[in-house]
Structure 1
Amino acid sequence: MDINTTTYADLKNRLDGSCHQFIPVYSDGIWNESNDGNILKHALLRLYLEIAVTFILTSVIHLLLRRYGLPRLISEILAGIILGPSVLGHFWPDASEVLFPLQSEKVLSALINVSYMIFMFLIAVKMDISLIKKCSRREWRLCASLTMNLLVITFISSLLGRTADKHSFTKDWVNFFSGVMVLTSFPVIACLLVHLKMVNSEIGRLALSTALVTDLFSVLIVNFYDFLDIMKEASVRAGVKSAVLSFALFAFIMTFLRKLMFWIIRRTTEGKPVKNIYIIIIVFFVMVVAIFGDKVGIQFFYGPFIFGLAVPPGPPLASALVGKLDTIITGLSLPVLASYCGYKANIWELNHMPPASITFTMTWGIAMKVAATFIPAIRLKMCFRDAAILTLILNAKGIVELGAFATNSHKQTIDAGHFTMAVMAILIVAMVVPLAVRKLHDSSKLYPGYQQRNILHTAESEYLGILVCTHTQDDAKAAVRLLEVSNPSKGRGLSIFGLYLESISRESTPIIINHQLGQKASNSSGAHQQPTINIFKFFKAEHSRSVNLQVFSAFSLPSEMHKDICWMAFDKSVALILLPFHRKWNAKGELIADDQALRTLNSKVLDEPPSSVGILLDRSKMNISSSTFVSQSIYSVVVYYFGSEDDIEAVAYATRMAVCSRVHLTVIHFTLSNNCDHTTKRSPLDDLSMGFEEKDEMLGTNNTIYREQIVTEGDDLARMIREKAEKYDLVLVGRRHNLPITSCLSECCEYPELGSVGDLLASSDFNNSVSVLVIQKQNIQLK
């Protein structure tokens, strides 16, 4: 019997009692169809055609809209609206019935549920939970304001749904609607910041941290209310049982599955990709925790979400999961989800006034969330423009909200007009926010912001964070010599992040290796960086109680290497980026290396740094007594002070050294002869609260000396700078001066990245064993 021509009588007389019609998933081909057959009745073929038509229409719309800076999500929703009952179904109903029959929605719905589940897992994988530890009072205040606002709006909407609204179907729908519409979603904000290229900006990091904490609180609140609903609708015993099983699932993820992932990392050789079998195992467990979570009473995607949070961030595992799964999810499944929501919306249903609860959420609810973001931002002394940008970003809507409506539509009694209103609201917000942020944001300023990441504003009791960038073993030795005299002692510790940098060709894959994860060392790639890593580890062993150490290796294109440095410094919130100078000398004082690629890299880092930057010019090999660690009893350090902000930063670093008993610190304040009257002027050194006149009490050492040096003209200044440098082991000086006293030195500057004074000490005719550290203070945006 041909299953394509089965009649009702055939179904009725079957011995097995089945009465449903069998429709094959795939077709035998257009030439093998029966006379009255229709090739579009086959589910798989129809799904292919629906996806193809949707993607073609989406691409055409995006081709027109991308010139205005709109994200592709807008085009996907509009494509769904055109193919749905709003346009195609309204004007050409026969064509709509052929292409999108009623039963096809079930196939699309199943695909969307699975895609949304894996999407939530991937989003959690991309989250860095360590951001919570780095949250300052600014993030916590914004989070508290947004969370309280969410509870208030949901409560008022629920109250209006019970009292003012007469339609019973809104009572089950209003809490869900109001909660989703005022949600602060981390995935949406992260995608928006990537689209706007603001992920590495200060506002971007503030928005990400706030959204992460708020999103996690929202998950806890939603699940708490789910347990209360189970207790109310079923019984207290059922609610308690659901909560206990949910915690058991959480414990299983954080113990067994997390240990499994670290085992996978240890089995993966450094620089090598994670084996496909491990990826398959993890995806299998994603499905398992989703099914178990759905059975115990929580949303089906919360299990994968928690599982994703347990994945160790970064390479090799998290990066491999994102690389394997992100393309199919964000490139295929999520566009189908967005178009499906547009397809389900019907603008012809917007012909009646919505209930009071929905109206409140769409008007006063959104206004209250805007106020709950903008007012705290202003109170935290952000400027009006940046507070407005932050408010827009934290009120963005996107794929998460669409996914919530799409995957819960079968659980809620949703009016078609209300669903359409939700989709249209998300569409409008997703269009307005990127355009408004682009208009307000100055994209030329990437890292400068409000958070002080410099030595001056690091408390003496805090660990001083330093990112040490090295290309060779000699770079690491020079950096460690500097760190040794930076006084790594109890109460004045150092947080060192060693970053070994190696350039690759365009055919190779950029990668950052975290050497703390216990990966197996590769014989091919590990040989280069291992001696450098060992130097840092030996320094850590010498100062185990006062030094925190993490070591990484970054393999990237020379043109992109500065981005790895800046991003790691920004991510780790370091106060100083330490870079090696591009020139090297041997024991005879002869120039042996002049790496112009390294010089270009240093210049790029100096352009937009997320913290203060120091360039270390190392001439220690010219000193016969030099070794990997400082061995001499007294290490002489001098700071050349002219009064600039960079000079103050150099002095701030020197004061940390001065506490060390082996360091003999001298600060020389150069002033012009016609500006020697200080009776009415306050010195910036006094503003720094150093009190060199009371150096014994303030710095705890008898070796600090403060001298004021009067100069008359530029030639005299250049001579003094060189002559006095010969007496010391290390010179600290600011990079930028722009002062009358140094104006003559800037006329013939060979190395602008060192500044006028640093350039003078780095010139080829200066043959002395003194090393030089040139410091540029972090650029802080005015509030």
Structure 2
Amino acid sequence: MEARNSSSANNELEPKFRVDGSCWKFIPVISEGLFSRTSHDDILRHPLTLLQLQLAIVFILASSIHFCFFKRFKLPRLISEVLTGMILGETGLGTFFPEICGALFSKNAGKIMYTLTRFGYFLFMFLIGVKMDVSLVAKSRRREWTMGAIIIIFPMLVIVSMSKHIALKNDRLDSSNLEGVGLIGGTLMLTSFPVVACFLMDQKIINSEMGHLALSVSLISDLLSIVIINLNSYGVLIKFATLRASFKSMFLSIAVVVFIISFLRPMMFWMIRQTPEGKPVKDSYIYIFLISLLLVGIVGDNVGLQYYYGPFFLGLAVPTGPPLATTLVEKLDTMVTGWMLPLMSTYCGFKSNLWELNRRPLLSTIFVLTAGTVMKFSCGFIPAILFKMPWKDAAVLSLILNSQGIIGLGTIATNVEKMPVVSQEFTLVVLVVLFYAAVVPILIRSLYDSSKTYTGYQKRTIFNSSAQEGIRVLACAHRQDDAMSAIRLLELMNPAKASPLSVHGLYLEELLGGSTPLLLNHQLGQKSSEDGSRWQPIVDVFNFFKSQNIKQTQVQVFTAITPPKLMHEDICWIAFSHLVALLILPFHRKWNSNGNLISDSKELRVLNIKVLNKAPCSLAIWIDRSKIRGPSFLAKSPEYNICVVYLGGKDDREALAIARRMRGWISIHLTVVRFISIDVCPMQGWESMLDDECLRDIKHQSPMNTNVVYREQRVKDGADTSMVVLSLLEENFDLILVGRHAVTKSPIIEGLSDWAEFPELGPIGDQLASAEVNKTVSVLVVQQQVIENE
């Protein structure tokens, strides 16, 4: 069979525009103006105007397809972008309306679009390097290294080698065409870290245990693939040039990497040192950095590296986190991922031609699509099983590592001009990437439910915890004030030898300038490449609390650096893995010492709602209005007045159980206000509580130094309840505890939810959290653990 390269995607360039090195005739991308006389009344003759029209058509069509069809099925935007290219290319517009296609997407216009696409991919690979956390490699264990090596080495070597052999023997291709076959096989066998990271982010499982494992394995696999690909390119140089040329290219490539590490990376640290804390890097430094980026790309391309490997290595050298990496991502990410990179997907669809699939593909291509798929899945599934993962989790992990995306399209698109790839095979590769992008998310959602990770049948509540086993508490903080506020609450649960307290502090920081979430355990000495000055004050606050209660308290402090949309996953995971019984979240509103509202964060409110819906234990939202600042607010007060608003139900029982744990060397006055509908037969005093075990216990088994007072409040409807609750604010209570949901259907709270500002706090908690309340009373809104099937 003859080599079918006559329809190669390479032949679309006229010979006068093609020379070795893929250089084209210079095309000025300018516009002479709308009213220019030299335009011959045809505005589309201006390259800049035509480019702008192309971009408008591409983005409007891609957005319409995505939002009208694929977004509702939670499929990636990549599919819409590729389909847009097919509609505008030879498959659609070029076949049915060739005149319009020729006017809008002429050869010269296609060259401009392709150049813009390559430049966008150049910057994208740099950003990928910036967002990568290479420390994951050092932290990886034998399991990650073994799986990462197997899933890239065996498919890459075996499948690519055998596909070349089949192409040579069965497809009768000559040796000059084998590199195109290797390109197709290597592209489909890649396990790309950026694709896996974006996939996990889209599926909202990047912070799960499965997500952390997939990130580590894919990063190791990606770095090994870079080594394999470059060694192969040096082998090609030996085959088609000389051994001396190959070693020269290898030496110069290593020199570029050494230059990045020994000169440019110290320059980055100098820029960071010159930048005041909390401030962005100066624009002049960014300009110098971007010039260095372009120079590294040009030099790397000329010494034998792929043109995007130089920027990728430079991105890896950028110190993660603020200020440099954060500033670079903020300035480039929107332009690259939102504008330039989608053009790559569209370009691949544009260059595809579905009408050429009427012939049988090459046997080598069929082998890659069938045997390659089976082998790559097996290389992910079998090692996972050998490392004792459940078969369903092993299948999910293998599917994640087999996901395809923009890297596969970028690899085939940026190399197709240099290799004789048949247009039919190019179209097949694009369709395979499209198939994986559509099917893998659906399979993952059907096999893996990350929410069930935190669903437990074991009761992790204060109500069900015995006094002897103590309490495990997770206190979250976004800044030092949150940590100090949490300590003020924990000091009320004064730990004793008979009832110890185990505190887990969690500092939550937004992930900026990276794609890999970090979870650091400071008790294990874990560190990141970032400056720890941001979390050290929070660590010091919790350590101070431990120093005051050495024998009765255990303290562990964590730092989670993660995207805000997935921050709740880290919170729930730590609570789940450390068997926490109570999770404390700071309220999204803050007050100053005068009782005035000074902060109202919508992002923190959304985070709290997500945790409320997913928490694996009991949860409390801490609304701190205390005037007194410092490490302890109890030192200046000889007594503390606590009120429990009790309507009945499991959330109120949990609030009462927390109040039972509050004890100390100071005198605590605990008032239980029970609301009863006026229609219920009246009973006096504690006799009305005999049906409630929790209320009986707090009367007869109250802690030492705690004075318990019971009050029964009879109300007619929600309006009466609201008046009584507001009157409690005038009684000089320091802390009010209330259940989140209380009784869901009761005349006691009828109508209160209709005007709620914060429905997530429940009808009573919403009233107590109102901005109109300027009292110093603090509020703890409690939700008992939600048990599945309960």
- Normalised-by-shorter TM-score class: 0.5 to 0.7
Residues 249, 720 of structure 1: alpha-carbon distance in 2 compared, 3 angstrom cutoff? farther
Match of 2:257 in 1: 250
- The aligned residue for residue 68 of structure 2 is 64
Aligned pairs for 1:31-430 within 5 A:
31-34=35-38, 38-66=42-70, 67-151=72-156, 152-168=158-174, 170-430=177-437
Task: Kindly provide the amino acid, as one letter, of the partner of residue 185 in structure 2.
Answer: S
What SS class does the counterpart of residue 397 from structure 1 fall into? coil
Residues 1:439 and 1:516: Cα distance change in structure 2 (over 3 Å): closer
**Matched-pair contact (CA < 8 Å) for 1:132–1:213:** yes
Q: CA deviation at 1:412?
A: 0.6
Give the drift of 1:189: 1.8
1:477 touches 1:628 (CA, 8 Å); kept in 2? no
Partners of 2:428 and 2:392 in 1: how far apart? 30
Q: Distance in 2 between matches of 1:715 and 1:34?
A: 91
- Aligned pairs for 1:532-571 (under 5 A) are 564=567, 567=570
Q: Taking structure 1 as reference, are residues 479 and 257 closer, same or farther at Cα in structure 2, changes over 3 Å only?
A: farther
- Looking at structure 2, the residues matched to 550 and 444 of structure 1 have their Cα atoms a distance apart, in angstroms, of 22
Percent identical: 40
> CA 1:615–1:350 in structure 2 vs 1: closer, same or farther (change >3 Å)?
closer
Q: Is the 8 A contact 2:144 2:217 kept in 1?
A: yes
- The amino acid of 1:146's aligned partner reads I
Q: 1:68 to 1:355 in 2, by over 3 A?
A: same
- CA separation in 2, counterparts of 1:611 and 1:139? 31
One-letter amino acid matched to 1:114: F
The one-letter amino acid of 1:46's match is: L
Per-residue CA distance 1:164-184 (angstroms, 9 max, x = gap): 220225412111111111111
Task: Work out whether residues 131 and 209 of structure 1, in 8 Å CA contact, stay in contact via their aligned partners in 2.
Answer: yes
**Secondary structure at the residue paired with 1:271?**
coil
Aligned pair in 2 of structure 1 residues 126, 355: CA closer, same or farther (>3 Å)?
same
Taking structure 2 as the reference length, the TM-score comes to: 0.62
Shift of 1:157: 1.7
AA at the equivalent of 2:242: S
SS in 2 for 1:65: helix
Alignment CA distance shift 1:275-1:515 (3 Å): farther
- What is the Cα deviation at residue 390 of structure 1? 2.4
Mapped contact 2:181–2:421 kept (Cα < 8 A):
no
Distance 1:32 1:596, change over 3 A: closer
Distance 1:444 1:297, change over 3 A: same
Shift of the alpha carbon at 1:392? 2.3
Q: Assess, with a 3 A threshold, how the Cα gap between structure 1 residues 580 and 372 changes in structure 2: closer, same or farther.
A: closer
Contact 1:190/1:208 (<8 A) preserved:
yes
**1:201 corresponds to which letter in structure 2?**
S
Give per-residue Cα distances to partners, 1:519-558, cap 9 Å, x unaligned. 999xxxxxxx997676579999999xxx99998999xxxx
Q: Secondary structure at the match of 1:95?
A: helix
SS of residue matched to 1:143: helix
Contact 2:271-2:285 at 8 Å conserved across structures: yes
CA contact (8 A) 1:562 1:605 kept: no
Q: Residues 474-529 of structure 1, C-alpha deviation per residue, up to 9 Å, x if partnerless?
A: 458779999xx99xxxxxxx99875699xxxxxxxxxx9x99856999xxxxxxx9
Q: 1:570 to 1:442 in 2, by over 3 A?
A: closer
Contact 1:266/1:517 (CA < 8 Å) preserved in 2?
no
- Give the whole-Å Cα distance in 2 for the aligned partners of 1:552 and 1:200: 10
Residues 58 and 354 of structure 1: CA distance in aligned 2, closer, same or farther (over 3 Å): same
Q: Secondary structure at the match of 2:300?
A: helix
* Separation in structure 2 between the aligned mates of residue 251 and residue 241 of structure 1, nearest angstrom: 15
Mind listing any 5+ residue stretches in structure 2 that lack a counterpart?
A: 1-23, 457-473, 497-502, 511-518, 520-526, 588-596, 636-692, 707-735, 741-781
Partner of 1:637: none
- Note the alpha carbon deviations across 1:14-61, whole angstroms, 9 max, x for none: xxxxxx999764332354345867432332222122212222222222
Distance change >3 Å, CA 609–CA 290, structure 1 → 2: farther
**Contact 1:468–1:578 (Cα < 8 Å) also in 2:** no
- Correspondences of 1:505-584 after superposition (within 5 Å): 564=567, 567=570, 579=584
Distance change (3 Å), C-alpha of 1:374 and 1:230: same
- Which SS does the other structure have where 1:272 is aligned? coil
Aligned counterparts of 1:176 and 1:68: Cα–Cα separation in 2: 32
CA distance in 2, matches of 1:244, 1:611: 57
Aligned Cα RMSD in Å? 5.6
Verify the 8 A CA contact 2:320 2:530 in the aligned structure 1. no
Verify the 8 A CA contact 1:269 1:519 in the aligned structure 2: no
> How far does residue 237 in structure 1 lie from its aligned partner after superposition?
2.3
2:464 aligned residue: none
Change beyond 3 A, Cα 1:244–1:433: same
* Paired residue secondary structure (2:107): coil
Asked if the contact 2:31/2:49 (under 8 Å) is kept, the reply is yes
Equivalent pair of 2:125/2:308 in contact (CA under 8 Å): yes
With over 3 angstroms needed to count, the CA separation of the structure-2 counterparts of 1:257 and 1:537, relative to structure 1, is farther
Q: What residue identity is the alignment partner of 2:194?
A: P
1:41 to 1:581, Cα distance in 2 relative to 1, 3 A:
closer
Deviations 1:622-678 (A, max 9, x none): 9xx99999xxxxxxxxxxxxxxxxxxxxxxxxxxxxxxxxxxxxxxxxxxxxxxxxx
Tell me, what secondary structure is at the counterpart of 2:358? Answer: coil
Deviations 1:338-371 (A, max 9, x none): 1111111111222222222211101111111112
Match of 1:680 in 2: none
Q: Which residue of 1 aligns with 2:647?
A: none
Q: 1:106 is paired with a residue of what secondary structure? A: helix
Report the secondary structure of 1:471's partner residue.
Answer: helix
Compared with structure 1, are the counterparts of its residues 720 and 315 closer, same or farther at alpha carbon in structure 2 (3 Å cutoff)?
farther
- Paired with 2:226 and 2:293, the residues of 1 have a C-alpha distance of 18
1:169-217 CA distances to partner (integer Å, 9 max, x unpaired)?
5412111111111111111122222222222233222222221111111
Amino acid at match of 2:51: L
Q: Are the structure 2 counterparts of residues 725 and 249 from structure 1 closer, same or farther at C-alpha, using a change threshold of 3 Å?
A: farther
Shift of 1:777: 12
**Gap change, CA 1:387 and 1:610, over 3 Å in 2:** farther
Among 441, 447, 466, which residue is 1:440 paired with?
447
* C-alpha distance in structure 2 between counterparts of 1:209 and 1:21, whole Å: 44
SS in 2 for 1:410: coil
**Contact 1:345 1:423 survives alignment (8 Å):** yes
- Give the superposition deviation at 1:326: 1.0
Q: Distance in 2 between matches of 1:42 and 1:498?
A: 55
Q: Distance in 2 between matches of 1:515 and 1:222?
A: 30
State the distance in 1 between where 2:546 and 2:291 align.
40
Alignment check: 8 A CA contact 1:153 1:361 kept: yes
Change (3 A) 1:778 1:368: farther
- What letter is aligned with 2:320? P
